[in-house]
A = this chain, B = another copy of it.
Amino acid sequence: MKYPIKRKSASIQTSYSNLGMTLESDIETTNNYYLNQGIAVIYKKPTPIQVVNVDYPARNKAKIVEAYYKTPSTTDFNGIYKGKYIDFDAKETKSKTSFPLKNIHPHQIEHLKNVRKHGGIAFLIINWRSYNKYFFLPIDVILEYWDQMDTSRKSIPYQTFIDRAHEIKFSFHPRLDYLKIIDEHYINNVPL
């Protein structure tokens, strides 16, 4: 009796992994959906690269032959939704117990803090791979742990995600509907 159900579930999981989907591309797919539906304008910023040498093998054609990845000064995603400035980064963890704060660069925290100060909506989307769950974690919750990092734990327990983050359900259209969280918790002015 259980066989068809199992197979269905397995086939969905296979199809996800076959697509080579990562958190980042799931978010980009979601952003494209938002853009095409006229819901929001949110883009991933390009990866910052320091170009050192460029060849011109043909007129008008520049070939970069030496370049290096740079550390980004901000987060990966930003844009506008219902007049609000949105800014976030995406992180993953394989842990089952806690999200290590070393996954976040200090300049990213600083940036998200700045964004919140100026009236934007700042958060992380965190994928707990062991549980196959996605959470919208507001900067306020992150800061509580970040600010006591030197004196106490260096990670945010999974239970904090259950209690104080907002789960984003994985779906197809859109894949990770994080704007729904913003509708429920920010646009309607319910304090977090």
**Interface positions of A (Cβ within 8 A of B):** 35, 38, 40-41, 43, 45-49, 51, 62-70, 72-74, 78-85, 87, 111, 114-115, 117-120
Contact = CB atoms under 8 A, between A and B. Distances in A.
Contacts of A114: 35, 41
Contacts of A81: 118
Nearest to A121: B80
Which among A35, A82, A114, A115 has the greatest number of chain B C-beta atoms within 10 A? A114
Contact of A62 (B45, B69, B85): B69
A83 B43 CA distance: 19
A144 to B, nearest CB: 22
Contacts of A40: 118
Contacts of A62: 68-69
Given A46-B48, A63-B66, A66-B63, A41 B83 contact: no
A50 to B, nearest CB: 9
Contacts of A48: 46
Nearest to A61: B68
A189 to B, nearest CB: 14
Contacts of A118: 40-41, 80-83
A16 to B, nearest CB: 25
Contacts of A67: 49, 63-64, 67
A82 B115 CA distance: 10
B65 A65 contact: yes
Contacts of A87: 80
A118 B35 CA distance: 11
A80 B49 contact: no
Which among A46, A74, A81 has the greatest number of chain B C-beta atoms within 10 A? A46
A41 B82 contact: no
